[in-house]
Structure 1
Amino acid sequence: MLIYDGDCGFCTATARWAERRLSDNYQVVPSQQADLDTLGLTDEDVVRSAWWIGPDGTRWDEHRSIAGALRAMSGPWPTIGQLLMLGPISWLARAMYRLVANNRYRIRWPGAAKCSRQ
């Protein structure tokens, strides 16, 4: 399951991209509609980051949530997801994730509403 900020246009557009590439075995759910208590997440958790909940219950945040979703896709995406988890690449991916997450309200994405969080 991929949990994302449904109030953010960039996040929603990115989640829809992932949803088109994931099998029906996976859910893509806006955090505003997710049962956070059942998932062991808080409001603060989902405001700060997207989350990937693996089939085994493993929870990954930030760049690891993106890596988890990519690893569940077919084609070249699992390899890219695996790379995002490796040493220096992981450090860079985390920094890039934080940069985007902290500035997502400034990102104008074609066809997506502007992020409502500022």
Structure 2
Amino acid sequence: MTERPVLIYDGDCGFCTRSVRLAVRLPVRMRVQPWQEADLAALNITEARAAHEVVWIDRSGRVFGGAAAVAELLKSSGAPWPLLGRLMSAPLLRTLAERFYRWVADHRHRLPGATPACQLPPEQRPHRD
């Protein structure tokens, strides 16, 4: 259980960082942290998962990744965002949302705001101390 939801993202990825800057504008109280600085073990998340997809941990401790994480973030926000989050969670659209998320994640190094680190596997990225 957490006092407020937690959003974990790739802090080495410029596209991810810009996306999170938009997310923090949503009307939702959450803790936002790059996975490189998070205590992943305490959050019950592996480094491999955190490097692969955005992760949302709700107040009850449930963990969501990828498009499901984005949907849960939206459902926790103020209007009109919960509607979009519910649509993304609907059975038919869930698959499309996950495919779209995966395509964006796999091509993030080509998208606006990307950095050279987006192209590197996590183990080759410069680590913050």
Asked if these proteins are the same fold (TM beyond 0.5), I'd say: yes
Match of 1:6 in 2: 11
Aligned length: 114
- In 2, Cα distance between equivalents of 1:68 and 1:103: 23
Match of 1:72 in 2: 76
Matched, 1:81 2:82: no
Output the amino acid matched with 1:75. A
Equivalent residue runs for 1:7-26 within 5 Å: 7-23=12-28, 25-26=29-30
> Does structure 1 retain, via aligned residues, the 8 Å contact 2:73–2:85?
yes
Structure 1: tracts of 5 or more residues without a match: none
Q: CA deviation at 1:42?
A: 1.1
Bigger Rg over Cα = 2
Structure 2: tracts of 5 or more residues without a match: 1-5, 120-129
Q: So what's the TM-score if we normalise by structure 1?
A: 0.91
Output the amino acid matched with 1:68. E
Q: CA deviation at 1:102?
A: 0.7
Cα separation, partners in 2 of 1:86 and 1:5, compared to 1, 3 Å: same
